[in-house]
Structure 1
């Protein structure tokens, strides 16, 4: 095949992996119509249909699956070798893609990377906010961020934050108008601000703990969000009860904008960890980012490979 067709093959891979011309076009930075024309021209030149198109979805044909399975790994090898050559330069350079929740980005990742990036102008960092459990290998991320008990098996995990407490909070105005919950079952009678989980489309069940007793409360309410900060802001505005990281709530508790509810049932979860594949070769740029995100010298000693199932309990930003 002519060498100029490589760009068209890359376009095909993007569409096949995304399952959508719209998403693939956005990823490649081209128009949807131009991408569609490119794929049709490629199919004409090859004399075989590569994609099955319907009004709702796009999927590879048998020939497309074969092309995707054989060509993609080879192109990734070429890309890795080109990256390795670039990394022979003295200064770290390249793009590091990170998937994390907005909470992790705002509270941990960006504060630690903001000053470091000034010293490494050739390093680019792309943050992708995601409350699902993305497959960082399949989705081509360099680093993922999850709670410590959610890291997929065969990954290297590095703690970047201490254990985290989740808190139920409400505004004084809301509590003046509604009876304060005294036990978890009382939450079912309240307007709770819920979180939509992307992986299954369900609402997050609040995981509460008192001593050795653990329960899940499937709360309901007038408002549902898919982000932590929106839930927090709604609670401050008196819209209902919210279940959020305590360090986010603390300033508002101190200022009197929020109050704790059922504090003796607040659970504590393993802190945030960054993780990456065990067999991945570190680029200089990735090493700089990982080093900047480590929690402390003690965290360096606690680097570990977590070989566990991805079937742990869900939390904010979980299954």
Structure 2
């Protein structure tokens, strides 16, 4: 049977007044210290004594002293009250300037292409902020995990989150190494992929992600097979560079190996474009100074980042991509 409980009210009421009187051994000086009248201090202490159930002060016309109960109350109340004051100051400090621990949940793929160039400069610009990056391709609950914000592809961000664009829309590209393409005929259509070794991604929910494409105005998902299944795009990309098979990866990740000739881009007319990468955090709450500093630093450092605006939005769903 559920029991009825009530929250104790006013447990700290009068403690500050008591401590001030105990320090000054005077109601008048305590009143001056707290900026109230002596009668107000006297009334507050009487209410505290009534609640405690014991007299805390010995009062005469000339002096104020502590009773034995007052001495014991002082020995416990003073350090506890000082800790509360210190806790308030620490919390206030975190709310007023960029400081403390900034925890971000980030897909592994995003770390090298988006964060690595910026973390060093951010840490130098804001030395009082510690940055913790939890690289995971799972869609983690920010509140339950104790994260300040997350970074994800736009289509996987819930509508009740505030999203800040970090990267513009980009295509998912199919890539293969020159060595692989010397051994296999270059695919010219989506159906041609069924004759190829296709490296695939296992989603965080355990399923194998199909490869998404667009054919004209029609969305197409290709169910393929191949010698390797990985849990992140970086592994797929590395395997493609080594000639293990073809991979479908975010174009920013493949940009460098395509540019230096280690990979070739394939089936580009059928490439599907995703909304881009966003930093997101729960809506309806004040942005902490450390998170605001990170957002503004990123916008300043990235010439292609939009200068506005933090907007809440729902991105279109893309069923074929990994939920990272």
Short-chain TM bin: 0.5 to 0.7
Deviations 1:50-88 (A, max 9, x none): xxxxxxxxxxxxxxxxxxxxxxxxxxxxxx967633326
Q: CA deviation at 1:281?
A: 2.4
Q: CA deviation at 1:287?
A: 1.4
Deviations 1:238-271 (A, max 9, x none): 0000111222222222322111221211111111
Change in 2 beyond 3 A, CA 1:297/1:172 = closer
CA contact (8 A) 1:97 1:126 kept: yes
Q: CA deviation at 1:103?
A: 2.1
Q: 2:199 is matched with which residue?
A: 193
Q: CA deviation at 1:107?
A: 1.2
Change in 2 beyond 3 A, CA 1:298/1:122 = closer
Give the distance between the partners of 1:273 and 1:196, measured in 2 at CA.
Answer: 22
- Secondary structure (helix, strand or coil) at the match of 1:160 reads strand
Q: 1:146 is matched with which residue?
A: 152
Q: Does 1:105 align with 2:106?
A: no
Q: Does 1:155 align with 2:161?
A: yes
Give the distance between the partners of 1:291 and 1:212, measured in 2 at CA.
Answer: 37
- Secondary structure (helix, strand or coil) at the match of 1:194 reads strand
Q: 1:217 is matched with which residue?
A: 222
In the TM superposition, 1:1-319 aligns within 5 A as 84-87=91-94, 92-198=98-204, 200-294=205-299, 299-306=306-313, 308=314, 312-314=317-319, 316-318=321-323
Change in 2 beyond 3 A, CA 1:163/1:83 = farther
Off by >4 Å, runs of 4+ in structure 1: 80-83, 295-298
Q: CA deviation at 1:298?
A: 6.8
Give the distance between the partners of 2:298 and 2:291, measured in 1 at CA.
Answer: 11
Change in 2 beyond 3 A, CA 1:92/1:296 = same
Give the distance between the partners of 1:297 and 1:260, measured in 2 at CA.
Answer: 23
Aligned residues: 236
Q: Give the stretch that moved more between structures: 153-162 or 286-295.
A: 286-295
Q: CA deviation at 1:313?
A: 2.1
- Secondary structure (helix, strand or coil) at the match of 1:138 reads helix
Point out where structure 2 has 5 or more consecutive residues left out of the alignment.
Answer: 1-86
Q: 2:66 is matched with which residue?
A: none
Change in 2 beyond 3 A, CA 1:243/1:298 = closer
- Secondary structure (helix, strand or coil) at the match of 1:114 reads helix
Give the distance between the partners of 2:285 and 2:88, measured in 1 at CA.
Answer: 13
Give the distance between the partners of 2:91 and 2:216, measured in 1 at CA.
Answer: 51
CA contact (8 A) 1:166 1:267 kept: yes
TM-score, length basis structure 1: 0.68
- Secondary structure (helix, strand or coil) at the match of 2:143 reads coil
- Secondary structure (helix, strand or coil) at the match of 1:301 reads coil
Q: CA deviation at 1:149?
A: 2.5
For the pair shown, which has the larger CA radius of gyration, 1 or 2?
Answer: 2
